[in-house]
Amino acid sequence: MKNILVTGAAGFIGYNLTKNLIDSKDIKITGIDSLNNAYDIDLKKLRLKNLEINDNFTFRNINLSNQESFKEIAGSNFDCVIHLAARAGVRQSFREPKKYILDNTISTANLAGYIKKEGIRKFLIASTSSIYGDSGESPMKEGVDEKYPPPSVYATSKLSGELMAKTILDGTETCIQIPRFFTVYGPYGRPDMSILRFIHWIFTGTDILLYGDGNQKRSFTYVDDVVSGLISLILSNKSGVFNIGSDKTVSLNEVILLIENEMNIKSKINYQPRAFKDVDVVIPNLNNMKNLNWNPTTSIDKGISKTIKWYLEYAEELKNIRFKFEYEK
């Protein structure tokens, strides 16, 4: 039986990956999460509740920024560590830079030190397309198109985490794989992410808060495609950086129209000034993942339809979830 540690197991991608893995009788998952208040903790508790019914899953409330907490998992003999714990959000990172450095850089360095001490042979470090900034019409390629300095505190904290892990584990036999995600959405998503916020606001008759004119294009990637990409990496021994995203871009205005049509509800949009350092187009080069025989398979309309179906099923549980930061009006 494989013994895997997943950090951020109560988070969006961490939950969806863990849910997929524990369906296998051959995998035992230890999930850790600090259950911090980066966004509404009730959503994290809802995810965790669904995981804890499985005998192959064990949860530990651990803060990775505290080195003493690693004593709780010392000697666990993990075959693989999948590091999905992070503090996400570009706009918020400029307001709270210290929290992002602590959660995304120092925590990753601490985890790398633990992996080195324990002799763990495989380490997946989730990272972000935010490192690239604006791609224009040319797909962003790993190791070529990173921006220096990165365009946000969030991106800087994630890239710093990548580099810290590589430096700490240099000279060891640990295989380091760094998947960089492109605008992930889907069931159990973070309430500060655009598609889930748009669905909630349209359903509740709340004005959509949209930064900029809505023509910004993103590589919206359905979470099931991200999970299948991560599983491809788990099964591979190839180290390196891997973009995981959709190779088709869609504008925010187009997304809103798709949601309106699917729900048969017309929205009202409250246009706000464009966010600081927001980018026009983000699109990935997927060659590294295609070499592992992975491709995204979920179209944006199908993914939105599945997300709406999930939202409506859980509307009662989600009605009190905060879908705005405190600074948003």
Alpha-carbon distances, residue 104 vs 35, 68, 123 (angstroms): 15, 18, 15
Q: Is the peptide bond before 150 cis (omega within 30 degrees of 0)?
A: no
**Residue 174 burial class via C-beta count within 10 angstroms: exposed 0-12, middle 13-18, buried 19 and up:** buried
Q: Cα 237 vs. chain centroid, distance in angstroms?
A: 22
Exposure string (b/e) for 29-44, b if CB count within 10 Å is 16 or more? bbbbbbeeebbbeebb
Tokens of 101: 């450095």
* 122: phi then psi, degrees, rounded to nearest 5: -140, 135
Question: Which entry of 39, 132, 154, 185 is annotated as an active-site residue?
Answer: 154
Alpha-carbon distances, residue 134 vs 154, 188, 202, 247, 257 (angstroms): 15, 27, 29, 15, 24
- CA separation for the pair 137, 150 (Å, rounded): 19
- CA separation for the pair 202, 52 (Å, rounded): 32
- CA separation for the pair 313, 276 (Å, rounded): 35
Q: Say whether 154 is catalytic.
A: yes
**Residue 134 burial class via C-beta count within 10 angstroms: exposed 0-12, middle 13-18, buried 19 and up:** middle
Give me the DSSP letters along 166-212: HHHTTTS-PEEEEEEE-SEESTT--TTSHHHHHHHHHHHTPPEEEES
The residues annotated as belonging to the active site are 154
